[in-house]
Structure 1
Amino acid sequence: MTEEKTILEAGWNLDNSYACLPQSFFTSQNPTPVRSPKLIILNNPLAISLGLKVEELQSSDGVAMLAGNKIPEGASPLAQAYAGYQYGNFTMLGDGRAALLGEQITPQGERFDIQLKGSGRTPYSRGGDGRAALGPMLREYIISEAMYALGIPTTRSLAVVTTGESIIRETEQPGAILTRVASSHLRVGTFQYVSQWRSDEELKILADYTLQRHFPECKDNEDRYLCLLKEVIKRQAQLVAKWQLVGFVHGVMNTDNVTISGETIDYGPCAFMDTYDPGTVFSSIDMYGRYAYGNQPNITAWNLATFAEALLPLLHEKEEEAVDIAQDAIADYADLYKDNWLKGMRGKLGIFNEEPEDEKLIANLLSMMQKYRADYTNTFRALTFDKPEDTSLFGNEDFTKWYEHWKARLSRQQEGKDSFQELMRSFNPAVIPRNHRVEEALEAAVKGGDYSVMERLLDVLACPYVYSDKQDDYAALPRKSERRYRTFCGT
């Protein structure tokens, strides 16, 4: 089987601005064709928003494109080069099993990367087979779409196809390819690669490209590279605060998984926390809790510091002054994160205005939740309905006192009960992708070929803030046997 270009009436409107950058930034390469592609799931609303035609994507030619067997007109497939700090150790990386087809220009004039994940070996594969298994690709589809529905910036999933080929991951598993959509795949690791191994001129080209693509308001600024640094800091502070507010644990916050756009990327060992515990870790290889739930804000600060380090040659011609400029910018992160998180926590508790004692009120609640092993999502869900008896905190003297203080705090607001309850509903999801529900869906799909379980789960997760009756079963806690949950890298 050979690659071929095909003109599809699917609405593809591809540009290739990244392919116009220095060739050292990427390797041009078509995806490796697969034996027998089959469409498993297509994200119809996303396809339509991109200007694509659902029926054409479902056709044999459309599925062949989603598998990498055919290349749409206008595409210029490539694998991106980047580096990264992985668990604190710097190394050369790159797209080892992904191909960027190009950038879809939507009818609204927006630009989105279209990437095939699991599309075959590249020069950056580092001994890997370049392929992906069905289970992890469906998992990324579920979690990324759940994150989107929760209002958290994220890469998204357009489709999953099976390849008709098996791959080996401890056991033999069906192969699959995910079509990922992103504002871009520019990463902190992209800048680290260019800063470490390429010229300052190429670093400037990358930074200017990034400004044009993501921060056009900065490109005419006299200190445009400082503006770039500050904007990335701001977006990451906002993003990680949103993770913390819903109990999301990314699991592998290496710098190659930190996007410049501020979107969540790479849903490998991620999961959502049930019982509130800042030390929550799901990744099987995170032995020391580097990327634990409670560490995510500080790790983000560390990652941003490494980004600032990569930008030093652009911040000032004198290294010492460049370091001072970078340190001043990074120093803003803590307050930016705290402001975003406090605003979100006030929202979760129905608080519209600010009072000095709010932080203590929030801290006391979280401390009790940890002490009594309360479920994070359902505790706030119960408070939203003003049903404290539905929490594991109920009946404890310290919670009774806290509840009285909280009610007194709400009474000092001009807004009435309906208003603060509406605010709480907008900040507290009634349902999240519970780990046992995700695994249930994946097992039915991969082992039994039954995708109905996943479809029902996706339907519920699409509207996490509606508080409908059909969400009740999906808000239920896992059985004890399901609570020790582990996730794995290399997905």
Structure 2
Amino acid sequence: MDNSFASLPPAFYTRLMPTPLPAPYLVAVSAPAAELVGLTPQQLADSLDVLIGNVAPDRALPLAAVYSGHQFGVWAGQLGDGRAMLFGDVATTQGPMELQWKGAGLTPYSRMGDGRAVLRSSIREFLCSEAMHALGVPTSRALSVAGSDQGVMRETVETSAVVVRMAQSFVRFGSFEHWFYRNKNDELKILADYVIERFYPELLGADNPYQALLAEVTRRTAHMIAHWQAVGFMHGVMNTDNMSILGLTLDYGPFGFMEAFDAQHICNHTDQQGRYSYANQPQVGHWNCYALGQALLPLIGEVEATEAALAVYQPEFAARMDELLHAKLGLSLLDQHLDADRALFDAMFALMQANSVDFTLFFRRLSGMRAADAGGDEPLRDLFLDRPAFDAWAEQYRARLRAENSDDATRRLAMNQTNPKYVLRNYLAQVAIEKAQNKDFTEVARLLTVLQRPYDEQPEHEHYAALPPDWASHLEVSCSS
């Protein structure tokens, strides 16, 4: 174990040990994540005190990093790892991977918090991190979740838990904003040089490496958010302190997957103004990149160069979104059809909106349509109240399929590797959480197994792909989640 972030000057973090939790118990481990760092699930189970932060691994250098950020569009000042501690990085086949405890106790950056995470939110982060990875979305990973009966107060008293999460880096946009707004250009340069040398060495030879860094982070962010939109994922708290400098989905809190389609859907009950709605995510991502560009301006040196780096966002997002939507509909990305295809997509989303159609089921069932005739339409058609409107759109879609001589079997196979059958619906997470709160962790493990193969049919788990029950519409998640 190493800790490259600890090689930065002491101003970047506070060294400290986690606060122990009594009588820990293991909730779940991710075998694929464990394999990535060369461990087995049994080795993790045998290291429970390490997983919950009661014991630090050999050669670990636990620390809490300082950063700042904009929260809901407002400058919030100093923030930092209020309940997370980085304890080191390990070599993997994908390069060094940093490991963090989340929920390990008070740090100097906890502000009014208690430094703890609750079992409810920890299970949600654990499951969604691994689910998003299986969906092919850039994300941090989750190695394990462990619990303790020690109580913490949220809306009610809940029990504590710790997630061990992993990423190549947990440096955020807000890490750079912290130094910019303090006029600490030396520290700003130290951090930028560290990030470039460790994670973007190909940029070292650029005419302006800091401009190149901003352009690459902007490009990755645009691609990540296009992936979010394509799977119907809503982050819920796209503050600049939650934005990864590597373009990873980071800090799972009040997230949600789109069910009944509503472009203005707000998954975070705390977000009363709807800043982070599904429809707003792309433009908020752009706004956040501008906040990073502002922070890097002293290093880039020129406003024009900064704006040029940021200008990659819109075309990169649009191009990636085009690719993903064409794949979701089983269409080839052909220039001669591009304008008509975008009109087809717009009409599709308008139809889904008007009929409150389930996002995941719509795209999964779409693969069953045939190019020649309406055979195979019924499972999809059943999702719509306005059947004639669906029929009209379906005929346009079939005509487009015929225009490229689409083969039904080949297309269906490709679409089912692009459109997941299983996503982490809020009610599925809630069922697993309620059982886990009674010390029954079988549903967490079962749900994790299903979500690690989201594109497979898994007939034995068919009920995980069903429309949500009526009671699920009353579920709310907030920043405390």
- TM-score where L is the length of structure 1: 0.93
Choose the corresponding residue for 1:388, options 377, 398, 413.
377
The equivalent residue for 1:155 is 140
Choose the corresponding residue for 1:101, options 87, 94, 106.
87
Trace 1:73-152 onto structure 2 (pairs within 5 A): 73-91=58-76, 92-106=78-92, 108=93, 110-152=95-137
The alignment covers a number of residue pairs equal to 469
CA offset digits 1:13-38 (Å, max 9, x no partner)? x1111111121111111111222222
Distance 1:170 1:406 in 2: 48
The equivalent residue for 1:340 is 320
Contact 1:353–1:413 (Cα < 8 Å) also in 2: no
Query: Is residue 470 from structure 1 mapped to residue 456 from structure 2 by the alignment?
Result: no
Distance 1:284 1:366 in 2: 24
Residue 250 of structure 2 aligns to a residue whose secondary structure is coil
Q: Which moved more, 1:167-176 or 1:93-102?
A: 167-176
Q: Which moved more, 1:220-229 or 1:241-250?
A: 220-229
Residue 56 of structure 2 aligns to a residue whose secondary structure is strand
CA offset digits 1:327-385 (Å, max 9, x no partner)? 22222211111111111111111001321211001110110000111111111111112
Distance 2:277 2:114 in 1: 30
The equivalent residue for 2:20 is 33
Query: Is residue 304 from structure 1 mapped to residue 289 from structure 2 by the alignment?
Result: yes
Contact 2:62–2:87 (Cα < 8 Å) also in 1: yes
Distance 1:372 1:484 in 2: 20
Cα distance change of structure 1 residues 432 and 352 upon mapping to structure 2, 3 Å threshold: same
Contact 2:81–2:107 (Cα < 8 Å) also in 1: yes
Post-superposition shift, 1:453?
1.8
Contact 1:346–1:352 (Cα < 8 Å) also in 2: yes
CA offset digits 1:208-239 (Å, max 9, x no partner)? 11112221111221211111001101110110
Distance 2:105 2:463 in 1: 39
Distance 2:82 2:462 in 1: 41
Cα distance change of structure 1 residues 122 and 399 upon mapping to structure 2, 3 Å threshold: same
Contact 2:64–2:81 (Cα < 8 Å) also in 1: yes
Residue 352 of structure 2 aligns to a residue whose secondary structure is helix
Query: Is residue 435 from structure 1 mapped to residue 426 from structure 2 by the alignment?
Result: yes
Trace 1:13-32 onto structure 2 (pairs within 5 A): 14-32=1-19
Contact 2:218–2:289 (Cα < 8 Å) also in 1: yes
Distance 2:94 2:255 in 1: 32
Choose the corresponding residue for 1:294, options 274, 279, 300.
279
Amino acid at match of 1:423: A
Post-superposition shift, 1:423?
2.2
Distance 1:358 1:304 in 2: 29
Query: Is residue 253 from structure 1 mapped to residue 244 from structure 2 by the alignment?
Result: no
Aligned-pair identity in percent equals: 38
The equivalent residue for 2:267 is 282
Distance 2:294 2:354 in 1: 40
Query: Is residue 210 from structure 1 mapped to residue 195 from structure 2 by the alignment?
Result: yes
Distance 2:311 2:23 in 1: 53
Amino acid at match of 1:269: P
Q: Which moved more, 1:461-470 or 1:247-256?
A: 461-470
CA offset digits 1:81-121 (Å, max 9, x no partner)? 00010011112100011110011112x37111100001010
Post-superposition shift, 1:394?
7.1
Post-superposition shift, 1:48?
1.9
Residue 357 of structure 1 aligns to a residue whose secondary structure is helix
Query: Is residue 65 from structure 1 mapped to residue 50 from structure 2 by the alignment?
Result: yes
Distance 1:109 1:285 in 2: 36
Residue 213 of structure 1 aligns to a residue whose secondary structure is helix
Query: Is residue 456 from structure 1 mapped to residue 437 from structure 2 by the alignment?
Result: no
Amino acid at match of 2:313: Y
Distance 1:431 1:52 in 2: 27
Contact 1:352–1:420 (Cα < 8 Å) also in 2: no
Distance 1:467 1:56 in 2: 31
Amino acid at match of 2:421: A
